[in-house]
Amino acid sequence: MQASWKGAVIASSDDIVMVEGNAYFPAEALDPAHVQPSEHRSVCGWKGEAHYYDVVVDGAVNPNAAWFYPEPKDAARQIRGRVAFWKGVTVQ
């Protein structure tokens, strides 16, 4: 699978974990040139605290378009070390 935005591949991997319709890519599949840490956080009752990345392509920034759980709860342990996308990032 690939995650792309504005024609750039943000992540690519065959090792995908699907949770709630979202494809979680291994963190090492991310292209570091296209992500930067965000200060945004949110909380999911069963997964834990989500941290975010901004997706960046050719100077355009898609804020908080990627998320991950650095310390997921036990029920979501399969997504530890993985990143998912939304906000216009195409995953196919």
Interatomic CA distance for residues 33 and 44, integer angstroms: 28
- Return the structure tokens found at 55: 């997706």
Residue pair 8/57 in contact (Cβ under 8 Å)? The answer is yes
Contacts of 12 (CB under 8 A, 6+ apart): 1, 2, 3, 25, 29
Range of 35's domain? 2-91
How do the pLDDT tens digits run along the chain, 92 residues long?
999 999 999 999 999 999 999 999 999 999 999 999 999 999 999 999 999 999 999 999 999 999 999 999 999 999 999 999 999 999 99
Domain harbouring 71, CATH code = 2.170.150.40
User: What is the model's pLDDT at position 31?
Assistant: 98
User: What is the model's pLDDT at position 42?
Assistant: 98
Instruction: Give pTM, 2 decimals.
Output: 0.96
First to last CA, the chain: 5
Interatomic CA distance for residues 4 and 29, integer angstroms: 12
If one counts the domains in the chain, the total is 1
